Every structure is written in structure tokens, then in C-alpha cells.
Structure 1
Amino acid sequence: MIALTIIQTNLDRCRKCYACVRACPVKTISISNGLPDIKEDGCIKCGRCISACSIGAKMVNDESLVVQNWIAHGDKVAALVAPSFVADFNPPLAPGLFRKLGFSKVYEVAYGAEICTLEYKKLFKEDLHQTLISTPCPAIVQLVEKHFTGLIEYLAPIDSPMIIQAKIVKEALPHYKTVFIGPCIAKKHEAKNGEQKNIVDAVITFKQIKKWIEALDLDVSTVEKVSWDSPGAGLARSFPISGGLLKTAGIAENVAAMDVVITEGAKKCIEVLKAIETGDFAPKFVDMLACEGCITGPEMISNAPYVTKAGLVAKYIQSNSDHHIQLKEFSSNINFRRTFTAKPIKRKKYTDAQIWEVLKSTGKYSEDDLINCGACGYDTCWEKAVACFEGMAENEMCLPYLLMQVPSIKQNLEKISNELMASIESVHFAMLTIKTTSKQISEKDKLLQELVDDLKDIFTAIPNIKSEEISEDLIKQLNAVETKENLNKITKILSEIRKENMVVMEQEQAITKVASSLEQIVATYQQLVTLGSALANISRNYS
């Protein structure tokens, strides 16, 4: 894991299923040895990978302890609560709950959304000559800044409700620290980057707040009912559901003319941005959200259906419709406008011939072989091959390629197994031969020793005798028939021992060969197990 990154991967928990790759709309997750690595330069922090990881290997950087330390040390801390809180917390008790956690002030960011809407109304009155893309969603902002840099000028130059609310609090209470609380991971990036940096001091998600509450063993039902510190909000409380910005601004989506469009979900947003980029689509205004409304954000606690959560938001708006909204004038030094910076991802160009070489390495030789099953996480085989060139993907991620290997590996395993079975008898024979031969060698070695002992007197005497001192008796001993026979026996025995040693060596080589076959079987079996594991992991989350 890399410290201080917003989204981290616990590699010990990862099952190599590529669910995160499939979920990533911008394919910024690389795979090395089957394990994922999120590339920060391309990540838009939409959190789809977190939602897709069913075993919890993806984690979100948690600033709860930092905020708790501020509170413990007596710092004044203001909670800025996202409008989507209604779907996760009991609205009447929410302000008191956050006060119980130690926050000195508690604000509805829906109030900041009201101010945000006023800024959009001002912008709509201007003479616009090109498409305008909404910017409350920080994941959409990053999507354009990193992957559609040619559309930077299309982004509405207006702060998000979070930043607007934080600016208002900072102006009124400059000594306060501001903490945004919501379901959005991309807000963590927004708070730490760009010209808005340090306006929001920390971002905690709803799930992280839940852990905080559980750690305190806090009984939420006993929380005292208190009021929000913000003046209130009206229709801006609908920001977390589909078309909330347009509803608040009093602008209707024009389905017939397609000049005012609502687009939700990162993949759909990418389709629309591509169409705008090519000139095939030229609406006046596109209200974009990376999620299908903030109430489906990756760090929402509730798993209830969209309509159920949207109904809670609508009910909350209706029950508070008579609340008087005080949109007071702010000092002229508060600027709710912003700019954007292109952060293009550098990518190399590859020829079709190069891509086909990668495709051939996974058994794809023609257009008919490009089945585009999506198991690897990429929409097409071509995209995955490009990713291999970029070092973002591996051949082994291809499910059909892995399946193609099974028959050959199985056949190889059977072949080696048959060879091993045929060698078992030869191993048994070799063992018996070695045992018998070794016994024979031992016996001959004993006989050899006896012969050498018989000739010992003659052999030890020769080196000490001078030539003039050689006696006739010694010559007779050397020429004796018995001595010659013993010497011939020694020569014969040495020759037999040499041959028998060669037999032993040959049998040992035969055993070594069989042992090598066994090693091949183990290696092939391990290859089959690894392949099976990869297939199981891919299939487990293949959807």
C-alpha cells in the first residue's frame, strides 16, 4: 500500500479477480503479477473500484483520527454535511449527532448548494456560445482535466457547494477548521488540490463517520435534537438526486431539443464527452454526475434502492418547505468562481501491426477471434492489447487464453505421468541392481585386500633394496607362479570393480532421469493449479 493516497489496495486481501479493472471507467488500474495498482495520474476518484471489490481489498484514506485530535486539543471544528445525509442518517437527529461527536458548528451543505445555484443562474444569463458542463461533481472535473483536456473551457467556472459552504464558514469563522462529511471519495481530492486547497481542512465519508460512532458505542437514539447552524435550504436539498441542480435553478431538461441534458454514471458521461469532443453532440448545458446521484456514492452506508433513498430526500424537502432561507449578502472578497487546469495523461501511439503481435500472443489471429468478452476488465480485446503495451495489463488476464491452455497442459501432464509409470519398474530394477552390484563390489574389495596382504612383504621390500643387493631369493619370489597368479587376480578384480561401478552409475542416472520426470510433473501440476486459480478468480466476479 502507498501511504497518503486516497484509494489504497490491501494486496494481502486481493483475489486477483480484476473486478476493479472492470469497474474503472478510465482504466487507470494497472496489473502486475496479477495484482492491481491504481495510477494516481489517471484516477478520477469516482470510487467504482471500491464498490466493485466484494472482499474489501480497496480502502479509502481516513482522516477521522486527524479530526478527532483537533477536537481533543480544543480546536474549533465545523462539520459541513452533504445533502445526501438524509438517506443515511435521521434528519431531525443529524445536527445533534455531529455535535455529540465534538463538532462546534454543524452546517447543511445544501445551503452552499443554494448559493451555487445562484451562480449558475448568473452564468445562464451570460451570452454563452458553447456547451456548458456542470462542475459540482469533482470526479467529472477530474475526468475532463485528465482525459478530455480539450473540453476544459466547457467546464462551468463555479465552485462546488462544498467549497462555497467552506468559504462562507471561513469568512465568518476564520479560526475554525472545516470538515466535509459525505458519500464522495473525489471530495477528498478536491479538498487537497487546485486553487480550492486548504479551504476544506479534512473530508470524512459517511462510512467513516459510522465507524467513529461505533467506536464510541454511541446510542444515536439518545442524541439531543438541535438546529443546524446554517440558515437553511430549499430545493437545493435535491442536489444529491437526479437533476437536482436543474430543479433548484428552475430549468427543465429538454428531451426533445436535447439542449439541456442530465447525464449520470461515469461511463455515460464519457460517452457524452466523446460526442461533444467530436462535434457529434452540442447541447447548451449538461448536468453531469459520476454517480447516479450523490445518494449512490461509493461511501453511502445504505444499500437501499435508488428510489427509496430519493424518496427520503424528497420527503425531507417537503417537510422543510416552509423553512425560511436567508441568502444573506456576503462580503465582496468571497469569490465563488474558479478555473481549471489540464492534466493530460501522456500515452504512446502504437501501430496496428504492434497490437496484432500482442493479440497473437493470446491466440487471436483475426477479427473473428476478438470476442470482446470483457473478463479481463477491458471493453474490447484491442483495448486490452494496448494496455499490455502500456504496461497496464498482462496476457494472463485473458480468460479465453487461459481456457485455451488447459487442454495442452492436461495433455502434457498425462504424457509425463505415463512416462513416469513406465519408469517405475526400471527404478525398481535399478535399485536391486545397485544393491546386488554394491554387494559384489564389497566382496571383491575384500578379496583384493587379501591378495594385496599376501604380496605385502614383497611390495614393501622392493623400494628399500639397492640394485646390487637384489638377491636370488627375491627374484625367485617375484617369478613365482603364485605371485604372478595373485597379480593377475588383482588386475582382473580391479577391472570387474570398474565395470560394476559403471553399472551402478548407469542405474543412478536412470533414477535421476525418473526423478527429473517427477519434477516436471510437479511443475506442470503447479502450472495447472495456478491456471485454475486464475480462472476461478476471474470467473468469481465476472459479470
Structure 2
Amino acid sequence: HIDGLKACMELFEELEKGGIQNCFFEVNVCEGGCIKGPASDKWQQSLVRAKMDLEDQVAYQEEAQGIEGRDIELQKTFKDRRVHDRTPSDTEMEQILHAMGKYTKEDELNCGACGYPTCRAKATAVYQKKAEIGMCLPYAVAQAESMSNIVMDVTPSMIMIIDKDMRIRECNKKAREMLGVSREEALERYIFEFLDDKDIAEVLNTRQQIVHKKLNLETMKLTVVESIIYIESLESVLVTYQDITREEKAKEQHYNLKMETVEMAQKVIDKQMMVAQEIAGLLGETTAETKVTLSKLRDSILFEEED
């Protein structure tokens, strides 16, 4: 009864030198071996009993024939194939913490509600794609219960927060209705999938806000007033679209009514001018005929007096 294949081969060679040709070996790869290995407790069997059973079974086995064990390779090389996870840099760690709502040391509560011992361990797991940002319970509760979110959701204007990668970080109820997606889906999408992002990219690059710019959203068939404000602490922009489609249509209708009124007035003026010109023409002809008649009458009277 020996432990290890190497010791087995060495003993075999020693026995062979001593003239012993046939022998039985019980080889245990692990400590305790099959006689009393790690799983043998469930059998409730003693080591002595197991050893006796094994020896009885070996005694009844026929002698092996034609087995040559000298050329059998008994060595095995194992390679280290462990997966080494990447760790985020300081900049990447800060970006992930900001996305989790952790901007200062005081914000890092290390409460463990997410299943990780610290907020930075959770951020590392997010970086390694082993966790989601929304798994931070304090941040989720703060987001859900904040008054600003309530105001944001009941506002009739579209409101969105877009980060520097053009990814939608937050959006209110009106925005979700206009985009036709749920909140979960929206937070996995990019703004350029829905709208022209030219103005948003400009504000992110220049950090100069755009306020009250009238814009036509062709994809949604809306006329809106666009405002884009840069948020330095989030490295993102707050985008609002105030729907003025109804007001613009009302203005257009009012303008068209005014133009129709002007055209009608112009037609009346033109018609009056034509009538005036016709009357003037008639008056002019009558005046000319009267002048000729009176001139003839005058001449006839003068000529009669001379005669």
C-alpha cells in the first residue's frame, strides 16, 4: 500500500531486481485513496473494513498477461489557464463611479447591498461586465424617490440626459413616449438612433449651451424649441425639446387667413380702380363732347353778332 505512481515504479524496479516477477499494487492518487477518500464518509464504512474487502477482491483476480508497464508515460503537464480579469484605470474607475452617482468619497457608502464589499469593487465588476450599474440600491432608491424625477416625468416636454458617448443616461415619460421605447430599452440605446445629434455633439465639444432654438424633428414630424445645457459634473448634456407643433400650426393658419384677407382686399381695390377708371373714361368723353358743343354754340353766337 503506497502513495504515488513514481513510488510505485521505483518499488517495482526494486522487486524486479530481487527476483520477484509478480506483485499487486494499490496506488492512491490522493491522500487516503479510494479506501478512505473524501467521499467515503457517506458509506459509513471503516478504513480497516474497506482494506480487507479490497484485499479479498484482489485475491480473486486472475493474473494479468502481456502487460508491459515500462513504456507507459506516467507524467502529465498542466498549464495555468486561469482567466485574468482586467482592472479599470483611475479614469475609468471615476467614470463608472460617476455613472453610479458616486462623485465624492462620502457618496461611496460601501453598504454591500449590491453584493460587493465596496463601491469600488462593484465598479470593478461593472467594468468587467459582471454587474450592472443599476444594482446599486442606494442610488436606485434615490433616483426613484427624488422629487426631481417626479417633476421630470410629469413635464410635457421631452427631457433627456446624454453622455459624451451619445448614450441615453436618463429620459422622462414624454421622451419615452415620443421615442417609442421603455426606460430599460432607452438606457441601452444611443440618441443618434432616434434624432439628429449634430447640436448635442457641438455642445459636448464646445460646452457652449444652446437655448430656445426652433427646430423641426423630421423623424417625429414635430416642431420643437431645443435647449441643450452642458452638465460638467456628469460630463453629459441636458436636452429638452418643447413641443410647439400646435402653436406653429395655429400661427400658420392665422398667417394664411391674413394672406387670404389681404388678397381679397387687393381684389376689391383693383376692382374699384377699374370702376373708377371706367367712370373717369365715361366722364372724360362726356366732358369732351360738352366742350365741343359749347364751343360751337359760342362760335355761332359770335359769328351772328359780327354779321
Q: Which range, TM-score by smaller chain?
A: 0.3 to 0.5
**RCO higher in structure (CA 8 A, sep ≥6):** 1
Q: Per residue, is there more strand in 1 or in 2?
A: 2
User: Taking structure 2 as the reference length, what is the TM-score of the superposition?
Assistant: 0.34
Q: Which has the larger radius of gyration?
A: 2
